[in-house]
Amino acid sequence: MKFNYKFDEDGFSARYYQGKASNTSILIILSTMRNDAIAKAFTEAKMDTLALDFIEPGREISLDDISFVAETMHAQGYEHVGLWGWGLGGSVALGVASHYPEDIDLVIGVNPFHILYQPLSIKPTTMTILYKGLPLPLLKPETKMWKQVAKEMKCSHEFHTVDRYEQCLTYGLREEMIIPVEKCQCPILLLSSQNDVVLPSEYACRQIVRRLQDHDYRYGARHLQYQMVSHVILPPKAFNRDRLLYRRISQIERNYPKHCQKARQDAFQKTLTFIQDKWPEANE
C-alpha cells in the first residue's frame, strides 16, 4: 500500500494513514481544510484513512475520479470503502455515492448541502463538478454576494453565508441540482448544527432524510442534530489545529467554546460508534 499518492503518477493526490494492519475497511476524507488532521484523528481510533485532495487542479471536482479512488482502495484489498465529507465535501460524498453506489459502502456527511453547489468565499472563484467528464448543474451565488460577504465579515467578524444560500434556493434551485441520494446503496450518517451560519445544513439534512423516506430507503440513514456548535463539527483534535481561526470568524465559537467542543466530542464519538456498528471489524 502506498503512503503518498501523487496526481501526476496515480491520477489523484492523497495521503494514506494506517490504523491497524488487520483492517479491511478504509475511510476516505473529503475536506477543503485539514484533510490530514481529520484523517489522523480517525487513525488514532485504529481506522485506516485516506486524506484525498478532492479539488483537483483547475478548481475541478470529478465524481468519476473519486469513484476511481474508491475502486483503487478496493483493488488494494479493502472490503469496505467509506466517504467522510465536511461541508462541500459532504455534498460531494453524497454525490459520489449516488452516482457510483457500487463503489461506496458508507457515507458520513457533516454539515452538507442537499444539492451540488459552488461555495461562497471572501474572493470570487469558479468551480466545476464533473460526472462522466461533463459538468453537472450547480447552484451558484450571484457575483455581488462575494463582496457582501467580505464587507459584512469586517463588521461582524463572522463568516456568515447561510442567508445567501437560502436566497439562491429561492430563485436559482433546479431539480437536477438536487443530489439523488435515494440511489445510494449504503448506510448514511448526517450531522448538522442549528447554529450553522455557513450553510443551511440542518434544513439540507432534513431534506435528505425526507427524500430517503419518500423512496423507502432500505440501507439505513441517521441524522444527528446539534445546537451549541458552529459549522465546524470536526474531530476535536482537528479543530484544535485552527481553533483561533474558527473562533475569530464564528460568534458561537467565541462565546461558547466549551459547549462547542463538547458537541464536537459527542459527534466524533457517535460517528465512531456508527462506523463500528456498520463495520464490525472496527471493534476488534
pLDDT of residue 120: 78
Give the bridge partners for 106, in sequence order.
Answer: 82
Sequence-distant (≥ 6) Cβ neighbours of residue 95 within 8 angstroms: 63, 116, 129, 131, 136, 179
Measured CA to CA, the distance from residue 135 to residue 31 in angstroms comes to: 21
Q: Are 192 and 111 in contact (CB under 8 A)?
A: yes
DSSP structure string for 121-177: -SS----EEEETTEEPP-B---THHHHHHHHHHHHH-S---HHHHHHHHHHH--GGG
Q: What's the pLDDT band for 270 if we cut at 50, 70, 90? A: very high
Segment 244-252 mean pLDDT? 88
246 vs 202, which has greater pLDDT? Answer: 202
For the chain, give the mean pLDDT: 91
SS3 246: helix
Report DSSP state, residue 55. Answer: S
pLDDT of residue 125: 67
pLDDT of residue 143: 62
Q: What is the pLDDT of residues 109-163, one digit of tens each?
A: 999 999 999 887 656 667 899 999 999 999 987 766 666 766 666 666 677 788 8
Q: What's the pLDDT band for 283 if we cut at 50, 70, 90? A: very low
Burial of 123 (0-12, 13-18, 19+ CB in 10 A): exposed
pLDDT of residue 149: 67
What is the reported pTM? 0.93
Alpha helices in the chain (DSSP H): 7-10, 35-43, 63-75, 88-99, 144-156, 162-172, 201-214, 236-240, 243-248, 251-255, 257-278
Q: Are 213 and 178 in contact (CB under 8 A)?
A: no
pLDDT of residue 282: 54
Q: What is the pLDDT of residues 9-58, one digit of tens each?
A: 888 999 999 998 888 999 999 999 899 999 999 999 999 999 999 998 67
